[in-house]
Amino acid sequence: MSNRHPAMEPGRDEVAAMMAAATSLVTDFLGSVDTAPTAPLDFPASELTELFAPPGDRPGDLDDLLATFRDAAAQAAETVSPGFYAYFPGGGLFASALAELLAATVNRYTGSGAMAPKLVAMEHGVIQWFCSVFGLPPTAGGVLSSGASSGNLSALVTARQHRLGGPDRTGTLYVTEHTHHSVAKAAMIAGFTPDQVRLVPVTADFRMDPTAAEQMIAADRTAGLRPFLLIGTAGTTNTGTIDPLADLAEVARRHGLWFHVDAAYGGAFQLTARGRVKLAGIEQADSITLDAHKSLFMPYSTGILLVRDPRLLRSAHSMDADYLQDLALGDELPNWADHGTELTRPFRGLRLWLPLHLYGVDAFRSELDEKLDLSEVVRRELRELPVIATSEPDLTVHTFRAPGGEKESQQLLERIHASRRVALTSTRINGDYALRLCVLSHRTHRSHVDEALGIIRAAALAA
Ligand SMILES: *Cc1c(COP(=O)(O)O)cnc(C)c1O
CB neighbour list of residue 313: distance below 8 Å, 6 or more residues apart: 141, 142, 143, 154, 158, 287, 305, 307, 339, 340
Clarify whether residues 190 and 273 are in a common domain: yes
Nearest CA to ligand 1 atom 10: 148
pLDDT score recorded for residue 54: 95
pLDDT score recorded for residue 322: 75
- Round the average pLDDT of the chain to a whole number and report it: 94
Clarify whether residues 259 and 116 are in a common domain: yes
Alpha carbon distance 420, 416 (integer Å): 8
User: Closest by alpha carbon to 237, among 397, 11, 351, 78?
Assistant: 397
**61 assigned to some structural domain:** yes
Question: Is residue 2's pLDDT more than 50?
Answer: no
Alpha carbon distance 97, 78 (integer Å): 17
Side-chain-side CA neighbours of residue 264 (13 Å): 29
Clarify whether residues 310 and 377 are in a common domain: no
Please indicate whether residue 409, judged by its CB atom, sits closer than 6 Å to ligand 1: no
What is the per-residue pLDDT across 96-132, written as a single tens digit (0 to 9) for each? Answer: 999 999 999 999 999 988 899 999 999 999 999 999 9
The structure's pTM equals: 0.96
Clarify whether residues 181 and 303 are in a common domain: yes
pLDDT score recorded for residue 1: 46
pLDDT score recorded for residue 133: 98
Nearest CA to ligand 1 atom 7: 147
Clarify whether residues 171 and 279 are in a common domain: yes
Domain that holds residue 19: 12-91+360-463
Position in ligand 1 atom list of the atom nearest CA 237: 15
**96 assigned to some structural domain:** no
Alpha carbon distance 314, 157 (integer Å): 11
Instruction: Identify whether the C-beta of residue 245 lies closer than 8 Å to the C-beta of residue 217.
Output: no
Please indicate whether residue 243, judged by its CB atom, sits closer than 6 Å to ligand 1: no
Question: What does the DSSP assignment read for 55-69?
Answer: PPSS---HHHHHHHH
Question: Is residue 444's pLDDT more than 80?
Answer: yes
Question: Is residue 73's pLDDT more than 70?
Answer: yes
Clarify whether residues 352 and 371 are in a common domain: no
181-189 helix and 148-159 helix, angle to the nearest 10 degrees? 50
Clarify whether residues 245 and 324 are in a common domain: yes
Alpha carbon distance 119, 453 (integer Å): 45
The CATH number linked to 16 is 3.90.1150.170
What is the per-residue pLDDT across 417-443, written as a single tens digit (0 to 9) for each? Answer: 999 999 999 999 999 999 999 999 999
Alpha carbon distance 310, 267 (integer Å): 19
For 86-90, what is the mean pLDDT? Answer: 91
User: Burial of 409 by CB count in 10 Å (0-12 exposed, 13-18 middle, 19+ buried)?
Assistant: buried
pLDDT score recorded for residue 34: 82
Q: Pairing relation of β-strands 226-233 and 141-145?
A: unpaired
Query: Which of 300, 324, 359 is at the close of a domain?
Result: 359
The CATH number linked to 351 is 3.40.640.10
What is the per-residue pLDDT across 365-377, written as a single tens digit (0 to 9) for each? Answer: 999 999 999 999 9
For 336-341, what is the mean pLDDT? Answer: 90
